[in-house]
Amino acid sequence: MSESRFILAGVMGWPVAHSRSPVIHKHWIAQYGLQGTYVQLPVQPERLGDAIRGLPALGFAGCNVTVPHKVEALALMDDVHPVARRMAAINTIVVREDGSLYGMNNDGAGWVQSLRDADPAWRAQAGPALVLGAGGAARAIVVALLDEGAPEVRLTNRTREKAEALAQELGPQVKVVDWKDRNQAMAGVSLLVNTTTQGMQGHPALDVVLDDLPVGALVSDLVYIPQETPLLATARQRGHRAVGGLGMLINQARPAFHAWFGVMPEVTPALRAALQATF
């Protein structure tokens, strides 16, 4: 008799205990009455290859991949979605029927959806965007903005070389701005995005002044712990629409759940409440 009705998925990272992904996926498993579970997979970097190659034998439908494995995991896939290839990182692995591994990256699409949830009229074409930071998350955001038709992406990072490397790779619409000029670079943008770790619990607030940010600009912060970062609070005080990182986290999970469990899950107030309860 087949054992395949019980579906197994998880999140692979190091460390992984802080991840909110189990809350999201377990909520959906219960909501849709599915047979399965979603577990934490703490994997040290030097064991990543063994762990990923072991997924089919262990009967996993797949897993999420989080810090610090997103880049290295891509090289271990048999097949990679073109968007993930451009992001040079994966956040989801799907084990296919033949046991081969397929890598996807839903971070950018999840982020775009979170902006649309906050402002259904939001369009990347509306004007230039300023992206703060040039790490792994920034890469997903810049690729998503270009794919959505942003006319210009201004990119600024404390370590300028990382922004330059990204711009070089992603094309002439990405313009590097020196970190010391980040405040003036807000002039004329329709979107400001923080992809740095600044503003996270345990980190200082992001050091920016919003005086030059146009009144109608949307402000997005990828940080979700805390949900209301100093950047978001200041932006709201100035009358901007401001979007935290929790919506991105929830929305990136939907296509992964669909790939493993066969149901495209809905984002409900009950799910948001379940997540709120963990903060």
* Using rule CB under 6 A, residue 166 touches ligand NAP: no
* Using rule CB under 6 A, residue 197 touches ligand NAP: yes
Total residues contacting ligand NAP by CB under 6 A comes to 24
Residue 131 near residue 138 (C-beta atoms within 8 A)? yes
Q: State in angstroms the smallest separation of the CB of 185 from ligand NAP.
A: 14
CA distance 38 to 8: 6
* Using rule CB under 6 A, residue 237 touches ligand NAP: no
* Using rule CB under 6 A, residue 88 touches ligand NAP: no
Residue with Cβ nearer ligand NAP (116 or 162): 162
Q: Which of 90, 134, 153, 219 binds ligand NAP (CB under 6 A)?
A: 134
Q: State in angstroms the smallest separation of the CB of 245 from ligand NAP.
A: 3
Task: Give 213's DSSP letter.
Answer: S
* Using rule CB under 6 A, residue 231 touches ligand NAP: no
Residue 154 near residue 189 (C-beta atoms within 8 A)? yes
CA distance 130 to 219: 10
* Cα angle, residue 50 at apex, residues 49 and 52 outer, rounded to 5°: 65
Catalytic residue selected from 26, 70, 162, 180: 70
* Using rule CB under 6 A, residue 65 touches ligand NAP: no
CA distance 184 to 3: 59
CA distance 112 to 251: 9
Q: Which of 19, 92, 195, 234 binds ligand NAP (CB under 6 A)?
A: 195
Query: Which residue has its beta carbon closest to ligand NAP?
Result: 135
Question: On the CB side of 134, how many CA atoms lie within 13 Å of its CA?
Answer: 24
* Using rule CB under 6 A, residue 22 touches ligand NAP: no
Residue 26 is among the residues annotated as catalytic for this protein: no
* Using rule CB under 6 A, residue 137 touches ligand NAP: yes
Tokens 């923080």 belong to residue: 194
Residue 136 near residue 111 (C-beta atoms within 8 A)? no
- Listed residue (77, 8, 20) closest to 247, CA to CA: 20
Residues that bind ligand NAP (CB under 6 A): 67, 107, 133-138, 157-159, 162, 195-198, 200, 222-224, 245, 248-249, 252
- Which residues are tagged catalytic? 70
